[in-house]
Structures are given as structure tokens and as C-alpha cells.
Structure 1
């Protein structure tokens, strides 16, 4: 703000200097170049009139330095020559119109015609009065003609600069409006970018939670089993150690795929998690020692694989729901049997349910944060489906997800 104010003041000072220089130059040219005696005061009054005119022009120009929204300087610069017309009338009086022209143009640019109109009337009246008094004092007696000339000169001096000033003001207003539109567009773009980043962060958080919770929970359970069996059943402990290695490898592969997805789409390999890969997920849970049953219901034996007509986002949502449910069952319902049901008999929706019986032993881990359930619900909402979870009548737990099919499935085309 201080820099802008300094630049405005310097610009105003430069304008005032240029106006004063032009006025003095015009006065010198009229005085020393013109041969017609009507333009040059004669006698002893010559130097005094010349000095008075110079002083008025300098004061009029100095008023341009003042930065004000209200055009008081315009009225002051228009009224000041009246003093000159009364004290030292001469043909040089017309030089005082030059600063008034500059004041009128500047006021038109800064204030605008609508707010300036009454100030213009006062300024024009002051110019007309000064011109009228100066002309009468120089010896003319036709008052009517002098009055008309004074009014015409006032209209020209005060009104003529308003036309280019209006053009400049309109250009400035257009530029300011464009700048505001650009600023608004930039803010909207930044807001959209922020929203997109937030969505991506939420998606990353869901993916990382699903990957870490599923695999690391299994690794933790297997490590507990190994610690118990290392002395009593070395063969079982060795098998579980191999399963821990397999789970760790799966974690690294999933993280590598996620990082590759964040870097570029081309970096992702062909390992896509869909409804068709749910059996492999169940097999992995069984290999970890969990009692898991998978029931897949299709519309007919000749129908395509389960999940046909479900989009990629819906496929991933169903897979993650089963994965998260198996992880929760293994962590919080130790020893419980789990049933995974993929119901593909509905023509419009795919229904997936995961139900576990009550745990056979009291869980020794604290309750979860709830992020897994939130993530499953968010995935269902993103696909246009629904999600629900809650306890069963026998004390177990059940999660349910319903995902709509996309239109124009292959068998409908």
C-alpha cells in the first residue's frame, strides 16, 4: 500500500510539473514571440501582469498534487483566475485555461461524470465569471456578446476533456472488472484443487487403511501363533512363519501398486481387485487359519462371472468391503466362523454380506477406530449403493453392501 501511494504521489507531482512547464512555455511564447500588441501587456503593468499570470498558473498546477476523490482542486483551479481577472486583467488570462483542462480531465478519469456533474457546473461557472470579468476589464462594452463568449469558453474548457476522460475511465473499469473476474476464477480454481486434493487424500487414507489393516492384522495373529507353537509344534510354527512372509510380501505388493497408481496410471500392473478375486481373498484367509465360507449365488449356471455389470469402482468397493470385514472378524472375533455371501441374483444390484459368529474367546485387543466402517460406507456411496453394519441376533456381526449395476450391460446391448 505504501509503495502504491508513493507511485501515485510521484505521478501526480510529475503531472503538476508538466502542466506548470507547459503553462510557462505558452506564456513565454505568447509574450516574446507574438508581434501583435493585443497579446502583450504594455507599459509599466507588463512585468507585473506577466508575474501574476505565472503565479496563478503555478498555483493551479500545484493543486494537481493533492490526491482527493472529491474534485475540490478542479473548482479551486477554476475559481483562482477570477482573482487574476480582477487584479491584473490582460490577454494573457487565457493561459490559465490550460491547468483547468488538465484538472477536468483528471477529475473525469478519477471520479466519473455521474458523481462529478455538480462540481462541473460550479467549475464552469467559475471559468465563465473569470473570463467575463477579464474581457470587460480589457475594454469591451458589448456585455451580451462577452457573456456568450465566456459561457462557450467555460463549456469547452471544462466539458471538452470529459470525452477522452470517459473513454479512459471506461477502459480502467473494464480492466478492473477483468482483474476481479480473474481473481475470482483463480480462487475458484484453488478451491477446486483443494477439494480434489482432499478427496485424493481421503481415497489414499482408505486404501492405506484397507491394505495395512488386512495384512498386518493377519501378520500379528500369525506371529502370536508362532510364539505359542515354536516349542510345542515346530512344524506348525514353520508353516505360520511362511504365511507371515507371504502376508508381508502381499503388503509390499499392495503398497507398490498404490504408489504406482499415485505416480502414473501406466505404473499400475494388471493385479486388479474385483468381485472375481474375492475367492482368492477367502483362500488367503483360510491359509491364515481362519474358518471362512464363501457362497456365490448367480442368476443361472450359464450367467457370466459374479459381478457382471458392476463398474470398476463398485468392484473395488465390494472387494474392499469383504477384505475389511475379514480383517475385523480375525482381529475382534477370534475363533469365530465367517460366511461371505456374494448374491448376484438381482438384475439391478449386487448384494455382498459378510457375517461372523460370536468369538470363541474374549478378544484381547482394544476396539477399533471406526475408520474401516467409514471407508466401506464412503465407497458404497461413491458407487451409488448402500452400506449397513451391525450386530446379529446371536451376538455376531454382519456387514451388508448393495451396489447398483451400470446400464447397458453386454447381455442387454
Structure 2
């Protein structure tokens, strides 16, 4: 049984029980004699109460319809069977008014409450006039008070409860929105972390595997003509393989929240080792550091900025080995500017007999640009004047590390 059916049944039973009690007491009150048990007025009132209670079932579809129907039935009863028990019909109207204020929209409830109040007041005046009352102004005042009490008074607590419901619903919606926003931020953070891991894996794997590929080609050519050099190249391949495995283990360890060893931190100080590794693969790489004697190289550059610098050089050398194999490369670190660090990696155009890679994923340049943006720097890449390729990154220093201006 739905809540509206339960309310309708309870209202009908309560009103009929009250009508029966009043009818049993009609012998002691001459004004109630016309509504004695079994009379036409009694049956008419009972039928009206049942219809008014049945109108409450409409509340499932429209909250204000039962109020207007119950008030209209009051007027019909007053016109057909006026009696002293007429006031019992106020009970279903009161219940209907409370339900309308509880579940209906206030703009619609306001119009129906006004119309229902007019109907209840009119019914009270018609019933009083039929009983022979001649005190007109008193009758009008009582009719207005009847309408205010029966229709207006239940709207007050109903409105308070409805406002509390709306507030709770808004609070739940706000909490749900906050929860959705938090989940979205978590998903975004996870996506960014996955992108960062993908870039890191790309930088590590692409650099080492490109070197291994070049060394393997050299070993294949030297196997017959220069076995000793081929053996050295094979050992270097093994060294590079171990290096990539170590880097991958370190990255996985970071993902597992394990403390990384200091020797695994990539900084500007580790760039010479990176250059030596590239030279071991047969690449021709020169390294130039232009520093200021008044501070340590890389001073004021954050650890994240130094990692970005290392990865930029690593990725640039990898791209040079893929697209311009055998070309001369120059890595320049300009540390003289007191506000920012500049890195440049430039390679000459590939030789006529070189076989550049057919293409790449494009993630290397994207990763370098994203790393620069992450630390507030800048990155650009493009063809050089001699037909080669040049990549440039600018990394800002943290505040407090700028050199003071020299006094005149």
C-alpha cells in the first residue's frame, strides 16, 4: 500500500469515527438532531467524507488537486445537506492542505490554497445561513477564520518541512557534486601520472635501445674483419642492456613508492656520463659547458628542472642517432644567465650514405615540450641553418638564486 492510500484510509476512518460519535451524542444537543445516525444528513456527510478522503489518492500525480476537490465537496454538502456536523468535513481539507504544502510547488500551492480557502469560507457561510443564523458579520468572520485555520494553518509546518527537505536534497547534491569533482581530479591525476610514466619509459627505452641498435650494426660489420673490436662492441651492448634494465627497475621502484638511490638521480652533473655513453655507441658528440665562476653549475635549478634538462639531452641524442646516424652532435649548456639555464643540442645533417629511421612516434618532442611547460620553461625545435636539427630548452632558476647586479 502506498503512502497516499494509507493517508486516505486513515483520514476516512478518523472522520467517519468522529461523525458516528457526534451522531450518538445528538440526543443531548437539539442542533445535531438533523444529523442523527441514519438520517439523510448523516449519510450525505459520511459520503462526502469518503469522497474527500478518496481525493487524497490524487496526490500521487498532482499535489494540489486533492485540496481543491476536498474544499469543493464541502460547498456541495453545505448546499445539499446543511447540518451541525458540517464542520467535520474540515478534517480531510486540513490533511489535503498539509500534503499540498509538503509535496507541491509553492507557486501552485499558493493559488490552490487561496481558491480552496474561498470555497471553505463560502461553504461555512452557506451552512450557517441554512441553519437560520442571522448574525451576518459574525458569520463572515467565522467563515474567514475557518478558512485560515483549515487551509492556511497546515501550510506553515508543511512549508517548514518542505524547506528542510529541499535543503537536505541540495546538501546531498552538493556532496555528490564534490565527490564527482574529487573523482574527476583523481582520474585526471592518474592520467597525468600515466602520461609521465609513458614519457619516462619512452626516454629510457628509446635512448638505450637506439644505442644498442647502432652498436649491433657495427658489431655485425666487424665480426669478420675486426673480431676484437666486435667483441668490445658486444660487451658494450651488454652494458647498455644492463643500463636500460637498471633504469626500468628504478622507475618501477619509484612507482612502488620505494626510496630511490642517490646515484640514480639525473642532474646536470650526470650529463658528461650520458655523453660518454653516447660516444661509446660510436656517435660523435661534443659537450660544452659555459658557466659563471661565481656560482656552482646548475645552481638554483630545481631537481625537476635538472631532470628535464637531462631527459632533453638524452632524447635529442636519441633522435639524432635515429634520423641522422653518424652526424656530428654538439651539446651546449649555457649557465651564465643569472635567471635561467639554456640548453642546446644540435646535430649536423645526415651523410649521404646514412640510413635514417623511417619515422618516429613523435612522443619525444611532445615529452620534452611538456617537461619544459611543467617547470615553467620553454622548448622549441627545428631545422638548423646547415640543414641539421636543433633543440633548445630554457629552464628558469628558483627565486633567491639570482646573482646580484654588479655595482658600477
Calculate the TM-score normalised by the size of structure 1: 0.90
Contact 1:40/1:46 (<8 A) preserved: no
Contact 1:39/1:92 (<8 A) preserved: no
Partner Cα separation in structure 1 for residue 242 and residue 403 of structure 2: 39
Task: Tell me: CA distance 1:358–1:114, structure 2 relative to 1, closer, same or farther (3 Å).
Answer: closer
What aligned pairs does 1:77-96 form with structure 2 within 5 A after superposition?
Answer: 77-96=70-89
Aligned to 1:230: 223
Q: 2:390 aligns with which of 380, 383, 398?
A: 398
The answer to whether residue 161 in structure 2 is matched with residue 181 in structure 1 is: no
Task: Tell me: CA distance 1:286–1:34, structure 2 relative to 1, closer, same or farther (3 Å).
Answer: farther
Q: 1:261 aligns with which of 242, 247, 254?
A: 254
Give the C-alpha shift of residue 39 in structure 1. 6.7
Aligned to 1:316: 307
The answer to whether residue 401 in structure 2 is matched with residue 409 in structure 1 is: yes
Contact 1:349/1:404 (<8 A) preserved: yes
SS of 2:33's equivalent? coil
Aligned to 2:42: 50
Q: 2:338 aligns with which of 325, 347, 360?
A: 347
Greater displacement, 241-250 / 94-103: 241-250
Task: Tell me: CA distance 1:45–1:18, structure 2 relative to 1, closer, same or farther (3 Å).
Answer: closer
Partner Cα separation in structure 2 for residue 319 and residue 377 of structure 1: 13
What aligned pairs does 1:11-410 form with structure 2 within 5 A after superposition?
Answer: 11-32=3-24, 36-38=28-30, 40-41=32-33, 46-66=38-58, 67-69=60-62, 71-264=64-257, 266-270=258-262, 271-300=264-293, 303-304=295-296, 306-360=297-351, 361-409=353-401
Partner Cα separation in structure 1 for residue 301 and residue 160 of structure 2: 62
Q: Deviations over 1:284-322 (max 9, x none)?
A: 11122222111112101x632x21110111101100011
Partner Cα separation in structure 2 for residue 330 and residue 43 of structure 1: 109
Partner Cα separation in structure 2 for residue 193 and residue 76 of structure 1: 54
Task: Tell me: CA distance 1:235–1:39, structure 2 relative to 1, closer, same or farther (3 Å).
Answer: farther
Partner Cα separation in structure 1 for residue 35 and residue 191 of structure 2: 87
Task: Tell me: CA distance 1:209–1:37, structure 2 relative to 1, closer, same or farther (3 Å).
Answer: same
Partner Cα separation in structure 2 for residue 150 and residue 173 of structure 1: 34
Q: Deviations over 1:203-247 (max 9, x none)?
A: 122111101110111111122222222222222222111111111
Partner Cα separation in structure 1 for residue 82 and residue 183 of structure 2: 66
Contact 2:377/2:396 (<8 A) preserved: yes
Contact 1:350/1:405 (<8 A) preserved: yes
Greater displacement, 251-260 / 41-50: 41-50
Contact 1:340/1:352 (<8 A) preserved: yes
Q: Deviations over 1:384-405 (max 9, x none)?
A: 1111222222222221111111
Contact 1:380/1:401 (<8 A) preserved: yes
SS of 2:355's equivalent? coil
Greater displacement, 368-377 / 42-51: 42-51
Give the C-alpha shift of residue 86 in structure 1. 2.5
Give the C-alpha shift of residue 348 in structure 1. 1.0
Partner Cα separation in structure 1 for residue 362 and residue 107 of structure 2: 64
Give the C-alpha shift of residue 29 in structure 1. 2.7
Partner Cα separation in structure 2 for residue 20 and residue 229 of structure 1: 105
Contact 1:69/1:110 (<8 A) preserved: no
Give the C-alpha shift of residue 409 in structure 1. 2.7
Q: Deviations over 1:333-378 (max 9, x none)?
A: 1211211111111111111111122223322420223221111111
Number of aligned residues = 401
- Runs (5+) with no aligned partner, structure 2: none
Partner Cα separation in structure 2 for residue 279 and residue 179 of structure 1: 59
SS of 1:41's equivalent? helix
Partner Cα separation in structure 2 for residue 256 and residue 35 of structure 1: 101
Calculate the TM-score normalised by the size of structure 2: 0.91
